Amino acid sequence: MKRLVSIGEASRILGVSISTLRRWEKEGKIKPDTRTRGGQRRYKLSSILTQVEGNTDSRITIAYARVSSYDQKEDLERQKKVLEMYCATKGWDFEIISDLGSGINYNKKGLKKLINLILNDKVNRLVITHKDMLLRFGAELIFALCEAKEVEVVIINKGENVSSFEEELAKDVLEIITVFSARLYGKRSNKNKKLIEDMQKAVNNAISSQDKA
């Protein structure tokens, strides 16, 4: 138990994130036994176990899932299952927050709840399947907020599912056009209805072509 371990090893042994250990150090709950010449923390196992005894992190892991439209409800359930299984295998206590709405909509109920939890220091870890599940544009702002609040971000799949990405992007573009067309022509005008119908056909054709490719 006299072996010195790095902060990364200590976090794995204790089952908490590195950001949690750093936060505990700022709060005076723990301190490294020594530092390397390069300034890296080193802990004695016996010392760190004694120091963190009784220290519990009340913050939780949030797993966030989202799809763009109602016809993707099955995809939303699959996404939630993936998140649930991933968090369970890690042994994390977690809560799933889900949204059914466009990736360009910043006013979704679940997203607002997530942001409020982060701002109020209730979250220690955010888990998502893909980066774009948060927002199509602006996810970096959420990641910056997580960094400022010492929230660990876990992205399960850092690659891109091309067909899914293009389908969601097409639907997001259609939503933008729908909003601006309604403002330009009025929601009930024939011009607006014709434009939306044509755009919907174009989106459906694009998705069908992608599926056949």
Cβ-Cβ contacts under 8 Å for 64 (sequence gap 6 or more): 83, 96, 97, 98, 99, 110, 111, 114, 126, 127, 128, 133, 134
Check if 68 is active-site. yes
Residues in the chain, total: 213
Catalytic residue, from 68, 98, 102, 181: name it. Answer: 68
Joined tokens for residue 63:
């797993």
Helix axes 190-212, 162-185, angle to 10 degrees: 170
Asked if residues 210 and 166 have their Cβ atoms less than 8 Å apart, the reply is yes
In order, the DSSP letters of 162-187 are HHHHHHHHHHHHHHHHHHHHHHHH-T
Catalytic machinery residues? 68
